[in-house]
């Protein structure tokens, strides 16, 4: 599990989002503790409606996930914020044949949670 987490963390854009090394290390350890649940959440939601037979989450499926959580409060974090961060997370993906356009794959889910946490901060 730890090897899977390290791989996902290394290919995400989290280190570019969190420029402070101390904060990056702290966030990494929090994510490591909860990675199993994030991975299982991804597995469940990506299986609902795979895109081109690939396990990923479309914006619609990700919104379904968000609606099942307490992420949206429409004061600090609204549905428009979700859409912006989804686009930012899935944009500029190159040379990843298992990452369809506009589809959120596992390492991007972890990145997306960091992006949303920063918006709520």
> pLDDT tens for residues 96-109?
666 777 889 999 99
- ∠ CA 67-41-29, nearest 5°, is 105
Model confidence pLDDT, tens digit, residues 32-81: 999 999 999 999 999 998 887 788 999 999 999 998 988 888 788 888 99
Host H or E run for residue 118? helix 106-120
Q: Which DSSP category does 121 fall into?
A: -
For the chain, the domains span 2-120
Nearest CA to 109 out of 37, 23, 51 is that of 37
């Amino acid at each position: 599990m730890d090897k899977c987490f390290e791989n996902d963390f290394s290919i995400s854009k989290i280190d570019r989002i969190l420029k402070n090394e101390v904060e990056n290390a702290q966030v990494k350890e929090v994510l490591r503790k909860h990675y199993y649940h994030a991975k299982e959440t991804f597995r469940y939601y990506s299986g609902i409606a795979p895109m081109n037979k690939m396990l990923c989450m479309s914006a619609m499926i990700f919104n379904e996930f968000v609606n099942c959580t307490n992420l949206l409060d429409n004061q600090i974090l609204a549905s428009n914020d979700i859409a912006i961060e989804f686009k930012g997370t899935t944009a500029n993906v190159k040379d990843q044949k298992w990452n369809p356009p506009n589809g959120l794959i596992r390492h991007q889910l972890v990145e997306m949670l960091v992006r949303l946490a920063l918006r709520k901060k």
